[in-house]
Amino acid sequence: MTVEWAAWRRSADGDRKRGFYAPDTANSLVIGLISKATVPLENLFVPFSFLLVTAALTPFHLPVDRWWTWVIGMLATDFCYYWGHRAEHRIRILWTAHSVHHSSEQFNMSTALRMPALMPFATFLYNAAYIPAALIGVPPLIIMFALVVTSMFQWPLHTQRVGFLPAPVEYVFNSPSHHRVHHGADNPYLDKNYGGILIIWDRLFGTYAHESAPVTYGLTKNINTFNPIKTNFHELLAMLTDISGARGARPVLRAVFGPPTTSAGLSAAKTEPGGKERCRPQIDTTT
């Protein structure tokens, strides 16, 4: 992050449109620290024990000491990551947590720190995305290892300082360009490029978009705050507000499990672009 910040300061276009704004960066850092501090507490409620149970129930058990098991495990986990990540954008209860990561109107490596804290129910539902990998016999150890590798791989993708990588790499792997698209808040970038390590899943399942124009970062309805507590819980409070105002079981279920939509309170719309005018960073297309 320091190197990225120094490069931004030395550049001729060193303004916040290129990805740094002190209050926003401070907010990201605090949110990151809070999430790290609460991970042990959250893991008391959302352990990976269900993966162990699933692995015990399945008749398939791949040997952990074979190299090909690790290859299968990495591919299977990345496939599950794609669908889990896609669900985070399309299911409201999951979006209450994941929206924290998308709440910054800037885009730099500090943005990667914006991870939700104290969202045990949403985290539990998201982790269920990896049950299929366990059901085909991938050892839970490999699943957890693959998730760590995915997290490390994605950190440096949160930058505007890297343009397009060589075409073969861009075609197969997730890249800074692909991930800038993923953080786009308006069409044609909205809800695109869910891949973790590989971008081929997006190409296969129709959610791929190429970076062809400047990206508008943030939510389609921005929350206009640098308060880390409000940033962390804004969409959860919006969902609870919608539930309290719902009449009947169907509206309640839609408020919890339906797609994120424009609603009362602080809800962040995901279906159509809107909200206030945002800064539009320029794309550096150098390799």
- pLDDT tens digits, residue range 182-209? 999 988 999 999 999 999 999 999 999 9
Which residues are 267's β-sheet partners?
none
Question: pTM for the full model?
Answer: 0.86
Is residue 93 a contact partner of residue 125, using CB atoms and an 8 Å limit?
A: yes
pLDDT at 283: 41
User: Is residue 138 situated within a structural domain?
Assistant: yes
Residue range of the domain that includes 24: 17-257
pLDDT at 119: 87
User: Is residue 71 situated within a structural domain?
Assistant: yes
Average pLDDT, the chain: 85
Is residue 51 a contact partner of residue 134, using CB atoms and an 8 Å limit?
A: yes
Q: How far apart are CA 191 and CA 154, in angstroms?
A: 17
Q: How far apart are CA 263 and CA 269, in angstroms?
A: 7
User: Is residue 269 situated within a structural domain?
Assistant: no
**Position 209: which residue type?**
A
Joined together, the tokens standing for residue 138 give: 């991938």
User: Is residue 152 situated within a structural domain?
Assistant: yes
User: What spatial distance separates the first Cα and last Cα of the chain, rounded to whole Å?
Assistant: 19
Q: How many domains does the chain have?
A: 1
Q: How far apart are CA 30 and CA 37, in angstroms?
A: 11
User: Is residue 265 situated within a structural domain?
Assistant: no
User: Is residue 62 situated within a structural domain?
Assistant: yes
- pLDDT tens digits, residue range 45-61? 655 667 777 888 889 89
